Structure 1
Amino acid sequence: MINTVFDKTDKGREEIATRKYQLAPRLRTLLVMIDGKHTGDDLLKKVSSLGLSETSLAELADQGFIQAAVPEQAPEVVSAPLEPLVATAAASEAPLPEGQNQFQAIYHFYTQTIKSMIGLRGYALQLKVEKAGSIEEFRALRLPYLEAVLKAKGDEAARSLRQRLDQLLYLGESAPADTIPAQPAAE
């Protein structure tokens, strides 16, 4: 189990989005970190200070919140470029992925891009995404998210992600006319 790469199940994603199953806070923290890319051992090293162990992973698996990741999908998810997402969304009138409502689409967008673009530096931002319970709360995270992407990946990536995020946040509405903040000075 330690060398297995885990991913969230639909039930796990539902718990993150809605807190429907009222998972214990420590287990929920572990569930948030499960991304389909890291082994159980990698994850447990990161949360060892919380007292979580292999038993915690087993508990999440037994309750149906996580499962072993499908190996063929992991590299595609990691290396999938974001530009095609933007082009596809811009070309269609309905930018929502099939079977998702606006809240779910925004949640998945934030979750996937925080992990792939910001990495562990985005952990605090990811926790704010997990706590968000409305579209308005997601909108409030827009600027901190874009600033974090700008700092981690630069202006071009931030502009590309801003376009897709605004499509999801403001379906049928006018998006804010603000610009991405200037690149932070090197420290």
Structure 2
Amino acid sequence: MIIFDKTEQGRAEIATRGQALGPRLRTLLLVDGKTAADELLRKVAGLGLAQEHLDQLQQAGLIQRSNGSSKINNGSSVAITTEPTTTKDIAATAALPQSAPETTQLSAEQILPPGQTQFEAIYHFYNDTIKSMIGLRGYGLQLKVERASSVQDFRELRQAYLEAVLKAKGEEIARSLRGRLDQLLYLGERGPSGA
């Protein structure tokens, strides 16, 4: 069983976003030294991530094979990170303070998938990640996504989405997805104030 953990460089990347790492690939920086690689890949399969992406992160020096001395989580119901236990903890963590927004460093062409408008990219992001990360518990949120008619409508769903991901998958995945979502929601802007 292969288990990966972040290197010091990987931890720094999460904090500073210093490398030009794609948002999907950045999601895999949620490795924790406990979860088996195959289990981790099952959790992010909806984002189109596979073993080759773990290999890329390893070659970039952002993750490394764990020595196996830590406890292994291989049950399908085990969360990747410890989840906050109170609504107050969840709300506080979902705000996830953001340092300098990365949207100012990338052009729209670098952020948006080829051939998609900002609206389409956000729509697909919400749909794909709600299904893969939240599952059936995200049905109400999915309906709100379907009713959205503007980027502003999507911005208003941001907090509820992040809280749902946090509750379902933990803080590290919520942080990673928040980064990608904010790139799409605030394309070329300063990002959400206070978040």
Give me the TM-score of the superposition, normalised by structure 2: 0.46
Structure of higher RCO (CA pairs closer than 8 Å, 6+ residues apart): 2
